[in-house]
Amino acid sequence: MRNNSNTAQGFSLLELLVVIVVIAILTALLFPVISRAKDKARQTACLNNLRQINLGVRMYSDDSNDTSPARNGVIKPNSADAFTGYKELVKNYIGLKGASSPQDKLFACPADTFYYDYPFTPNPRGYVPESLCTQSNNDYSSYSFNAGNLHHVQFYGTNFIEPGIAGLKLSLIKNPSRTVLVAEMPAFVPYSWHQPKRPFSQKNSIFNDSRNVISFVDGHVNYIKMYWDSTWPQGTLALAHDPPAGYDYQWSGN
């Protein structure tokens, strides 16, 4: 009797190569989609963080004769500078107790994975692969309060007072839907955690129209582009003055 059963055969080399090419093409197509989804998730997390922090600031102000947080009211003497000292005042309003720490997840943006140290050091490294929210000098926060009016500075030979709303009555701010309350720290330079640009250079466009998550005095939060003045001083510090027309925010309470 003849055995008519067929012997099972494996894939040929050509078939294996075709499968590998198809997988590579699908991976190349899916990777940008997955990357965009992750970026969107980080933006959403920052938006939610800032909504809660914004509410805490406004609750603090309600209990403080309508006055926004200011550095001279910080309970802990060494809790950071004008921009981060607000956290010590408002954190009880959003469920945080005890000393600040890296475990304060509400104040940690998941996109906070690096920073540019220009212009904050005389010998900048440029791109620094470290989180701001893990550093004690930032009071373990990714977010800064709009407190430039407490920050008298001398920068590249220029003396100036930045605009800001620290210590002001929130009800007297003329444009609450445009005036920044609390924002991601890069917004004050500006650069972006969400659309990072490299390599670092003062002359390239890492600062130009970078996009950041911002909360406003009226309570809403948005992801917007920030103004970069390439002519003053040395082409940096977004909060040195209010932006021109075409931008959806301002630093001053006027």
The residue ranges of every structural domain in the chain are 14-240
Q: For residue 179, which amino acid is it?
A: T
Looking at the predicted structure, is the pLDDT value of residue 37 above 90?
no
Long-range contacts of 240-248 (CB under 8 A, 24+ apart): 240/160, 240/162, 241/162, 241/163, 242/163, 248/178, 248/222, 248/224
Q: Taking the alpha carbons of 128, 142, 122, 235 in that order, is the dihedral positive or negative?
A: positive
The set of residues, in sequence order, having a beta carbon less than 8 Å from that of 29 and lying 6+ positions away, is: none
Could you identify the residue written with the tokens 């981060």? 84
Structure-token pair, residue 118: 């220009």
Please give the average per-residue pLDDT across 1-7, as a whole number. Answer: 51
The set of residues, in sequence order, having a beta carbon less than 8 Å from that of 171 and lying 6+ positions away, is: 66
pLDDT confidence bin for 162, thresholds 50/70/90: confident
Kindly report, residue by residue over 84-114, the tens digit of the pLDDT.
889 989 999 999 988 999 999 999 999 999 9
- 182 HSE (CA, 13 A, CB side): 28
Kindly report, residue by residue over 138-147, the tens digit of the pLDDT.
999 999 999 8
